[in-house]
Each structure stands twice: as C-alpha cells, then as structure tokens.
Amino acid sequence: METRERGPALAERTAALARAAFSTGDRYPGLPPADGSAETAGEVLAELARGTRLWTALDEHGDAVGCVRAVPGPDGTWAVRRLAVVPRARGRSVGRLLMRALEDGARADGAARVVLDAVVERGNPPFYCRLGYRTTSHFPGPDKPLSEVHMEKDLAAPDEELPYPWGGEPVPLWDGPMRVWFSGPHGTVALPAEPGPAPEAEIAVLAERAARRVGGRARFRGADGLTRPAGVLADPRPAEAVPAFVLPRGADRGVLALWRAGG
C-alpha cells in the first residue's frame, strides 16, 4: 500500500527496512556495502519532504517486510529508489508486488515511464528484466568500483517478462572488446570476444570452447566490457571465488560488468 504519512516514526521504520534488506543478500561475497545498509531516518524524512512517494508491504501479521520509493519527475518520468525486502520475506513476490504498486501509482499520476539504475554485480538487472524493464545504457558506479545499468519501462506498453540479458536491451550496447565468463566442473574461464549482431549464437560457440577448459558443460555466467583486448583468463575456482568475476572494476577501473547470470 502507498504510505501517506510523513512523520519520524515512518522514516525510522523505512530506514530500518532498508538497513535490514541491504545489509544481506549480495549474490557474491566481498562487494562494497550497499548504500541502503547505512540509511538513516533523517535521510528518509528529507526525501519524503521533497515529494518522494513511498509504498510499504505488510505481512499477514501486519508487520512491514518491504518498501520502495519513487521520485516523480516533471517530464512524466518516475525514478525508483531503494526497493527493499527483508530477508525473511524473500521468495514471496514481495518485490514484484511493490514494483507493480509503484507502477500503478505512476500511471494514475499520468506518468509515461518508470526508470531505475541497477548494480550488475549484485545480480539486480535480471529481476527487473522479468518485470519488463529494458536496459538502455551501461555505466560505472559513481562512488564504488561497481558496474550499473540504466533501465526503463514504458507504462503504456503491455506488461511482458523479458529474457535476460538480450530481451532487456538493444544489441549490442557495447561496441568494444569483451570477455565472456563461463563456469564448469573444474573451474571458471573468461574468453575474449567481440560484440556482434547475434550474441546468443556467438555465446553458444564460445561455450563449446570453454567446455574444454572447465572439464564439462560450460555455463554462461556473464560478460565484461573492456577498454582493450585481453587474452584468456582461467581459474580452477568457482566463479564466485574469482575476484575478476566478482568485482571486475576492483582490479581494473576500465572494465564494466555488462551482465551477470545465475550459476
């Protein structure tokens, strides 16, 4: 439900939800702390005073288990802020329901689209893809060695679940050299690649090459955009233990994680 009150008690509850949600749940270990993990009631109160809208999800006992904010813009665009679901309520479609409520509110207000920025290394873009958000750009995080994408949804278009990644972005969005990550029974490998007009077919060809290096079926794990061509990177560990996969910009600020798929 949309929460209309604007007092200190609401701000503290919202900040506590954000801290609980953003302090846990990263897909890969060792990532920089999320901004929401240190949110304060004062920050929330200031946002609400500026006109930010807030939706809160309650469980069957009336306890708050999630929230999301949106900033309405003068051009008919709403920007999502801090979708948060506490750990005990995950896997119950709380995040999806909160986003649907936000979108309904935006439509009712006459907005044309909803936009958001999502961190690739935290595994967030696939979730938004399933809600119909398309990636329109990749960019480096402004204050952490992370990679982000800008995503948009046309509120007048029919709701559709988009496959990740290529259903959610025009192909290609990256026009430089790339490396594509695969994992298998005996480790992880990143193979050099160039973006082309048929990425799925190209990934399938690379997967055949990767299988020989990882000792079995090679699973696509993601891809990075590079500033210069690079060779093969092989590691006997799982992808989640390979620093260049977990946090590529931690090793080279010129690298962007373009996609990260599940294991």
- Nearby residues of 259 by Cβ (< 8 Å), 6 or more positions away: 120, 125, 164, 165, 222, 223
- Whether 21 has a pLDDT exceeding 80, the answer reads yes
Q: Could you tell me where the beta strands, DSSP code E, fall in the chain?
A: 53-58, 64-72, 77-85, 113-119, 134-140, 147-154, 178-184, 187-193, 219-225, 233-235, 256-260
At residue 249, φ and ψ (nearest 5 deg) are -75, -15
pLDDT band at 27 (very low <50, low <70, confident <90, very high): confident
Q: How far is CA 89 from CA 2, 17, 19, 119, in A?
A: 19, 11, 15, 21
pLDDT band at 263 (very low <50, low <70, confident <90, very high): low
Query: What pLDDT score was predicted for residue 100?
Result: 97
pLDDT in tens, 160-204: 999 999 888 888 899 899 999 999 999 999 999 988 888 889 999
